[in-house]
Amino acid sequence: MTSVTFQGVVKKFGEFIAVNDLNLEVRDKEFLVLLGPSGCGKTTTMRMVAGLEEVSAGDIFIGGDRVNDVLPKYRDVAMVFQSYALYPHFSVADNIGYPLKIRKVPEEKRRQMVMEVARRVELDRLLDRLPKELSGGQRQRVALARAIIRTPKVFLMDEPLSNLDAKLRVQMRAELKHLQHELQVTTIYVTHDQIEAMTLAHRVAVMSRGVIEQLGTPKEIYNNPRTLFVAGFIGSPPMNLIDGEVSDGAFTSAGGIKIGGLGHSNVADAVLGVRPEDAHLLPGGSGKANVTAPIYSVELTGESTLVTVRAGDSLFTLRADKSFVGDFDQMVNVSFAPERVFLFDRKSQNRVDF
């Protein structure tokens, strides 16, 4: 039973506040992803759990024990670094077996465990090599093997997939998810890649400027973003965010986008959020269009076509059927699914419910 709890955790580097009053509970056996752009404090948060950064204020608990002043070696966490941090002067076997060697596990037992773990991550033929003789994907596996060899209380993963090429990344993502499910170890995973976050996490904590903007399951984060930041950060391509104003439940943008039925809200500085898949092209001459605008570009991605239109001086993208064919500057009618649009207040950055 290992949960990780943050209570009012603050981390300052001089005057700069990297993490500000963080309150979060990572549940037992949970796969929690800290998601955010670079510099948002997510890696710092993880490093505080590992004991590599001191906590400026607040408390961190691992499995109920306050660990603020506990040395990394006594925290029983394992970490996979972004750079893998393999010991360049050790062979693969020695790298994987290092945590056991430090714990004085007898050599025979150690060799057996290294072999076992190596087989699991398909490294058993490379045990005598040095890290520099391995490919990126193999190095990544060594780092992973070194982390799982001793079944720690918590796994910490700092962008472990970001140095891999796209194909390998997708493959390792699935392996990681499966591995965590098998091992049932509480995991904190840091990434700036929202697809990784969506696919891996039980829950995602979206961070920005040292605070958690929203915490929830990937589904909640995607379908119910609470702030403008979360709305813009999650989704690929991202949600269209259109500036305009709302009076008595009707949104109007400078580019001529109009949509009604937003309750009775009035927001002077409003932002309309529409996901690309929630905007649809209407057959010509339909009166129900929310906007009629020229096509800016058409991109076929394979399973669908991304159509970007220009309404006034703002662009927005929608996902059309893969069979769609259109020309530059061709006028199209676009309608939004009214129950699937979001409204935000530019000033407070928060969602406006209607």
Partner 1 sequence: MPRGRTSIDIQRIGAYVTIAVALVITLFPVYWIAANSFKYDIDIFSIPPQWLPSNPTLKHYHAAFIERPFLIYALNSLIIAASTTLVSVVFGSMAGYALARFQYPGRWRYQISFWILSTRMMPPIVTIIPLYIAFNYLGMLNTKPAVIIAYTAFNLPFATWMMKSYFQDLPVELEEAAMVDGDTRWGAFLHVALPLARPGLAATAIFCLIISWNEFLLALVLTLTERSQTLPIGIAGRVTQYSTYWGEISAAGFTACIPIMIFAFIVQKHLVRGISFGAVKG
Chain residues in the site for partner 1 (CB under 8 A): 50-52, 71-73, 75, 77-79, 81, 83, 85, 87-89, 98-99, 102-103, 146, 156
Type of residue found at 91: S
CA-to-CA distance for 342 and 354, rounded, in angstroms?
Answer: 9
Instruction: Kindly tell me which of 164 and 242 has the beta carbon lying closer to partner 1.
Output: 164
CB-wise, 155 or 233, nearer to partner 1? 155
CB of 98 to partner 1, least distance (A): 5
Rounded distance between C-alpha atoms, residue 354 and residue 352, angstroms: 7
Task: Give the nearest distance from C-beta 152 to partner 1 in angstroms.
Answer: 9
| Alpha-carbon distances, residue 94 vs 99, 127, 136, 146 (angstroms) | 9, 8, 18, 9
Alpha-carbon span 90 to 96, nearest angstrom: 9
The Cα–Cα gap between 89 and 87 comes to: 6
Joined together, the tokens standing for residue 328 give 């530059």
